[in-house]
Amino acid sequence: MAKLSVVILAGTEQHSDLARVLNGLSLVKEAKEAGDDVELVFDGAAVAWIPELENPEHKLHGVFQGVKDRVAGACEFCAGAFDVKEEVRAAGISFLSEFEGHPSLRRRVADGYEIVTF
């Protein structure tokens, strides 16, 4: 069984970012279906994806809803910096701030997770 921490860093500005988010969500879905220990982390500019993915009209909404139970959280510092803190909170997603306001990727590695970034 794999232990994966899928970290999405892609912003929302470029069309290629949409593909990166889809690839990240797809990996989480595949790992979940395989019974792996998998979590999803939104960090950096990717925190702005949360309100987008929560929109029922967004093309990735259904995929996101299928893996939302694996979302470990969103970077608290970045949610503030990208002005989406209220939207993240409204989506029911926890804030991660283990290291100076950011998720601790080092702790995840120490816990045996392989970090995969998109």
Residue 31 near residue 38, CB atoms below 8 Å? yes
Rounded mean pLDDT of 34-45?
98
Phi-psi label, residue 22: left if phi above 0, alpha if psi -120 to 50, beta otherwise: alpha
Express each pLDDT in 89-113 by its tens digit.
Answer: 999 999 999 999 999 999 999 999 9
The architecture CATH gives domain 3-117: 3-Layer(aba) Sandwich (3.40)
> Taking residues 32-58, what's their average pLDDT?
98
Q: What percent of the chain has pLDDT above 90?
A: 99
Question: What does the alpha-carbon distance between residue 67 and residue 76 come to, in Å, rounded to a whole number?
Answer: 20
Alpha carbon distance 8, 24 (integer Å): 7
Work out whether strand 37-42 and strand 71-75 pair parallel, antiparallel, or are unpaired.
Answer: parallel
Which is nearest to 43 in space by CA: 95, 112, 100?
A: 95
Q: Is 115 helix (H, G, I), strand (E, B) or coil?
A: strand
Q: Count H helices, E strands: the chain? A: 6, 5
